[in-house]
């Protein structure tokens, strides 16, 4: 969950640019974790000439410069103001979401070797760190922190020394940080992305990845590394995704990738379709407001270009298997399992109704962290669809791995290019929601539902459940959604004013039926994670089976009303409204324009434009997102970085 940045430029250009790149990168990555932050630089105390390097020893004075502080990035910037760094040519930087060791100055990254020659940062968890630490301490290594990362720093220095000793014995000098990184990477179990610099070789940054994210930014006479493209988005849009178990070595002029066996690899090049402006707040007060207002575009962009002009059929973004073979496999599946976490799981829950309606096969929705531990029935006739904004949620990745071990077909829905999940899946459909920086997922949620519908239509089409014109009809209805969502986003300020009256509320309930039920769950989650108050979503029909005991005077209850074209559902939910009203609740209804019954029974009605019931969640969720955002704002809370949360949960 941490944010990492690496940078290298020509060593005869040593200046403050590496520090600037790192601080800018950390600002863009701070949403990945913000317990502490730090930076390490090298190439400042002059340069190790070739003759000097012949001595194969750490030359006194050639040390990395490290600045690191607990708390937000501002604390690190103040530390650097008080203790300025010297010009440099290489740098690594890190913003942390603590897994091992409290968030304090000592445990902040980077961590250094005892002679300060090596500096290293880490994203993930090294599960066998304790045994490796014991081994190092028995060799006389002194530890200053309680982190698993410091173990990696000392191991890397030890391996570098062994390589130098071996090369000295062969009367040739090798300062091979790459080989040293390769040697330690194979020692670890767990998840890790590691970046390291060597003060004696200030023209190289080496990175290793296993399960945690790492992408390369390709520059001109300089190169970048980052946990995602936001780290270097304002310097380059040319990127290379690293695969599992790979080591990358960047110099100002080269990018070399090997696997953990030392075999050269070719990275997957891609052009980042996010500009720097998109990754910034764009003039809004918060990322979350910006991202809610981007929802119409996120849906529209996710729908773009989905029909192959030649075949007039839907196509997926990325196939890691032969397309025709994949299509044949899809015709054989007899069960679909959707695995995801949190908001992404509610997107999957919404999709269940649509895919079962279109494809007429059972769809199970599983919380990814529960899936593999319940010994699920999965085989080659199962299709496992994973949904993940970050593509790095470890619970979801591990669920997909388990499904693949059982022979399942896999499709991922992901918003982050170069992430792990697409590489683990047979096929991928990217949501084109752009960078979602706020921890609370909003535009990614509606984009995930949109992408899931596209997959549902793709399956219905290749399995013969729907004719192309029927698929096109639904796509045409989906094409009208962005404009309808915009009509709800335009209510942003009026919903915000309403929320001001409820800033002291202590509990809120959410009721929905059919596809409105997962929307109720998502509405409750938004309020919990943003306003830190009790909120609970229920299936409206469940009310009388217990939860109605919670209803009391003035208790706010949000009710998502089905469209008028579903009278059998609509009438039931109107009855639920009457039941809670009779017990003193204040009812906020989300209802279709023209729903006079809703107006008759509810205290407040958020009107939404008419649309097919299966697509209604794309509209219904918007007022709930805005209300949660507004309530948290009214309470003076940080809506972009809520307490205890991180944007991407890359540990199980």
Write down the least CB distance from residue 190 to ligand AGP, Å. 19
Tokens of 424: 């683990």
Q: How far is it, in rounded angstroms, from Cα 517 to Cα 567?
A: 17
Please give the sequence-ordered ranges of beta strands (E in DSSP) within 282-361, or none if there are none. Answer: 318-319, 335-340
Of 351, 382, 396, 425, the residue at the interface with ligand AGP (CB under 6 A) is: 396
Contact, 485 vs 298, CB < 8 A? no
Determine the Cα angle at 556 with ends 553 and 559, to 5°.
125
Contacts to ligand AGP from residues 513-532, by CB under 6 A: 529
Contact, 392 vs 419, CB < 8 A? yes
Write down the least CB distance from residue 436 to ligand AGP, Å. 9
- Determine, following the binding rule CB under 6 A, whether residue 177 of this chain makes contact with ligand AGP: no
Instruction: Rank residues 519 and 573 by Cβ distance to ligand AGP and give the closer one.
Output: 519
- Determine, following the binding rule CB under 6 A, whether residue 626 of this chain makes contact with ligand AGP: no
- Determine, following the binding rule CB under 6 A, whether residue 641 of this chain makes contact with ligand AGP: no
**Residue whose token pair is 């052009």:** 271
Determine the Cα angle at 533 with ends 527 and 534, to 5°.
90
Neighbours of 138 (CB within 10 A): 8
Q: 289, 646, 313: which is closest to 489 by C-alpha?
A: 289
Of 9, 64, 149, 393, the residue at the interface with ligand AGP (CB under 6 A) is: 393
Sign of the Cα pseudo-torsion (227, 229, 232, 234, in order)? negative
Q: 434, 9, 72: which is closest to 217 by C-alpha?
A: 9
**Cis peptide leading into residue 110 (ω within 30°):** yes
Q: How far is it, in rounded angstroms, from Cα 9 to Cα 219?
A: 9
* Residue of 11, 290, 352, 647 with catalytic role: 647
- Determine, following the binding rule CB under 6 A, whether residue 440 of this chain makes contact with ligand AGP: yes
- Determine, following the binding rule CB under 6 A, whether residue 446 of this chain makes contact with ligand AGP: no
How many residues touch ligand AGP under the rule CB under 6 A: the total is: 15
Query: End-to-end alpha-carbon separation of the chain, Å?
Result: 11
Write down the least CB distance from residue 566 to ligand AGP, Å. 28
- Determine, following the binding rule CB under 6 A, whether residue 439 of this chain makes contact with ligand AGP: yes
Residue range at the interface with ligand AGP (CB under 6 A); choices 227-235, 269-277, 337-345, 575-583: 337-345
Write down the least CB distance from residue 438 to ligand AGP, Å. 8
Of 389, 428, 452, 461, the residue at the interface with ligand AGP (CB under 6 A) is: 389
Write down the least CB distance from residue 101 to ligand AGP, Å. 23
Of 36, 382, 648, 650, the residue at the interface with ligand AGP (CB under 6 A) is: 648
Tokens of 43: 């190439």
Instruction: Rank residues 341 and 429 by Cβ distance to ligand AGP and give the closer one.
Output: 341
- Determine, following the binding rule CB under 6 A, whether residue 382 of this chain makes contact with ligand AGP: no
Residue range at the interface with ligand AGP (CB under 6 A); choices 162-170, 318-326, 342-350, 577-585: 342-350
Write down the least CB distance from residue 594 to ligand AGP, Å. 32
Of 342, 376, 434, 617, the residue at the interface with ligand AGP (CB under 6 A) is: 342
Write out the H or E segment, with its range, that includes residue 624.
helix 617-634
Counting DSSP H helices and E strands in the chain, the numbers are 21, 26
* Residue of 2, 175, 341, 414 with catalytic role: 2
Confirm whether 647 is a catalytic residue: yes
- Determine, following the binding rule CB under 6 A, whether residue 184 of this chain makes contact with ligand AGP: no
Tokens of 404: 């693949």
- Determine, following the binding rule CB under 6 A, whether residue 344 of this chain makes contact with ligand AGP: yes
Write down the least CB distance from residue 428 to ligand AGP, Å. 14
Of 343, 382, 417, 576, the residue at the interface with ligand AGP (CB under 6 A) is: 343
Instruction: Rank residues 141 and 649 by Cβ distance to ligand AGP and give the closer one.
Output: 649
Q: How far is it, in rounded angstroms, from Cα 303 to Cα 299?
A: 6
Write down the least CB distance from residue 422 to ligand AGP, Å. 12
- Determine, following the binding rule CB under 6 A, whether residue 447 of this chain makes contact with ligand AGP: no
Instruction: Rank residues 88 and 339 by Cβ distance to ligand AGP and give the closer one.
Output: 339
- With b for 16 or more beta-carbon neighbours within 10 A and e for fewer, the 440-475 pattern comes to bbbbbbbbbbbbbbbbbbbbbbbbebbeeeebbebb
Residue range at the interface with ligand AGP (CB under 6 A); choices 31-39, 210-218, 355-363, 384-392: 384-392
Helices 177-185, 148-169: inter-axial angle, 10-degree rounding: 130
Tokens of 107: 């445990």
CA distances to 52, 441, 466 from 356, in Å: 70, 25, 12
Q: 22, 25, 97, 101: which is closest to 641 by C-alpha?
A: 97
Of 390, 428, 613, 650, the residue at the interface with ligand AGP (CB under 6 A) is: 390
Write down the least CB distance from residue 379 to ligand AGP, Å. 25
Contact, 195 vs 220, CB < 8 A? no
In the complex, residue closest to ligand AGP by CB: 342
- Determine, following the binding rule CB under 6 A, whether residue 649 of this chain makes contact with ligand AGP: yes
Mask 135-154, x = binds ligand AGP (CB under 6 A)?
A: --------------------
Confirm whether 335 is a catalytic residue: no
Of 90, 341, 498, 598, the residue at the interface with ligand AGP (CB under 6 A) is: 341
Q: What is the dihedral of CA 410, 414, 417, 422, to 10 degrees?
A: -10
Instruction: Rank residues 344 and 598 by Cβ distance to ligand AGP and give the closer one.
Output: 344
Write out the H or E segment, with its range, that includes residue 185.
helix 177-185
Contact, 212 vs 124, CB < 8 A? yes
- Determine, following the binding rule CB under 6 A, whether residue 441 of this chain makes contact with ligand AGP: yes
Contact, 618 vs 588, CB < 8 A? no
Write down the least CB distance from residue 338 to ligand AGP, Å. 12
Write down the least CB distance from residue 532 to ligand AGP, Å. 14
Residues known to be catalytic: 2, 647
Query: Which residues contact ligand AGP by CB under 6 A?
Result: 341-344, 388-390, 393, 396, 439-441, 529, 648-649
């Amino acid at each position: 969950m941490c944010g990492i940045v690496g940078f290298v430029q020509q060593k005869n250009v040593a200046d403050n640019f590496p520090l600037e790149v790192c601080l800018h990168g950390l600002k863009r990555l701070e949403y990945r974790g913000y317990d502490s932050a730090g930076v390490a630089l090298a190439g400042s105390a002059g340069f190790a000439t070739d003759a000097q390097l012949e001595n194969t020893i750490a030359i006194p004075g050639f040390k990395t410069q490290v600045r690191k502080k607990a708390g937000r990035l501002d604390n690190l910037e103040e530390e650097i103001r008080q203790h300025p760094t010297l010009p440099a040519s290489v740098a690594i930087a890190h913003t942390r979401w603590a897994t091992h060791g409290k968030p304090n100055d000592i445990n902040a990254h980077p961590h250094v070797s005892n002679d300060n020659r090596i500096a290293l940062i880490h994203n993930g968890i090294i599960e066998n760190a304790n045994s490796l630490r014991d081994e190092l301490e028995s060799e006389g290594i002194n530890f200053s922190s309680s982190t698993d990362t410091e173990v990696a720093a000392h191991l890397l220095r030890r391996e570098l020394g062994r390589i130098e000793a071996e090369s000295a014995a062969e009367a040739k000098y090798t300062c091979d940080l790459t080989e040293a990184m390769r040697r330690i990477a194979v020692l670890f179990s767990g998840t890790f992305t590691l970046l390291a610099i060597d003060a004696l070789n200030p023209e190289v940054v080496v990175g290793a990845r296993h399960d945690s994210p790492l992408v390369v930014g390709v520059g001109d006479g300089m190169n970048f590394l980052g946990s995602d493209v936001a780290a270097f988005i304002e310097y380059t849009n040319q990127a290379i995704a690293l695969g599992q178990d790979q080591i990358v070595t960047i110099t100002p002029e080269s990018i070399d990738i090997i696997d953990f066996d030392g075999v050269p690899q070719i990275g997957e090049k891609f052009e980042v379709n996010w500009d720097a402006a998109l990754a910034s707040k764009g003039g809004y007060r918060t990322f979350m407001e910006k991202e809610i207002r981007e929802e119409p575009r996120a849906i529209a962009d996710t729908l773009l270009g989905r029909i192959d002009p030649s075949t007039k059929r839907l196509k997926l973004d990325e196939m890691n298997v032969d397309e025709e073979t994949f299509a044949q496999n899809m015709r054989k599946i007899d069960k679909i399992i959707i695995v995801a976490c949190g908001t992404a799981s509610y997107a999957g829950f919404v999709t269940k109704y649509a895919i079962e309606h279109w494809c007429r096969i059972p769809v199970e929705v599983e919380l990814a962290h529960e899936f593999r531990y319940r010994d699920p029935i999965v085989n080659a006739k199962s299709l496992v669809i994973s949904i993940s904004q970050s593509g790095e949620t470890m619970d979801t990745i591990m669920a997909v791995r388990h499904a693949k071990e059982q022979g399942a077909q896999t499709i991922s829905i992901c918003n982050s290019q170069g992430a792990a999940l697409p590489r683990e899946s047979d096929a991928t459909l990217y949501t084109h929601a752009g960078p979602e920086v706020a921890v609370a997922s909003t535009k990614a949620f509606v984009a995930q539902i949109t992408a899931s519908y596209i997959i549902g239509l793709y399956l219905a089409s290749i399995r013969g459940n729907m004719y192309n014109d029927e698929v096109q009809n639904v796509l045409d209805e989906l094409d009208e959604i962005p404009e309808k969502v915009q009509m709800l986003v335009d209510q942003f300020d009026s919903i915000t004013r309403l929320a001001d009256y409820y800033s002291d509320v202590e509990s809120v309930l959410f009721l929905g039926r059919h596809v409105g039920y997962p929307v109720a769950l998502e509405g409750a989650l938004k309020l919990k994670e943003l306003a830190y108050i009790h909120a609970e979503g229920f299936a409206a029909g469940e009310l009388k089976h217990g939860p109605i005991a919670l209803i009391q005077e003035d208790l706010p209850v949000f009710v998502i009303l089905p469209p008028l074209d579903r009278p059998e559902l609509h009438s039931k939910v109107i009855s639920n409204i009457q039941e809670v009203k009779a017990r003193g609740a204040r009812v906020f209804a989300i209802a279709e324009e023209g729903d006079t019954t809703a107006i008759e029974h509810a205290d407040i009605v958020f009107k939404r434009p008419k649309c097919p019931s299966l697509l209604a969640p794309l509209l219904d969720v918007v007022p709930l997102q805005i209300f949660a955002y507004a309530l948290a704002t009214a309470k003076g809370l940080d809506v972009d970085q809520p307490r205890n949360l991180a944007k991407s949960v890359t540990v199980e």
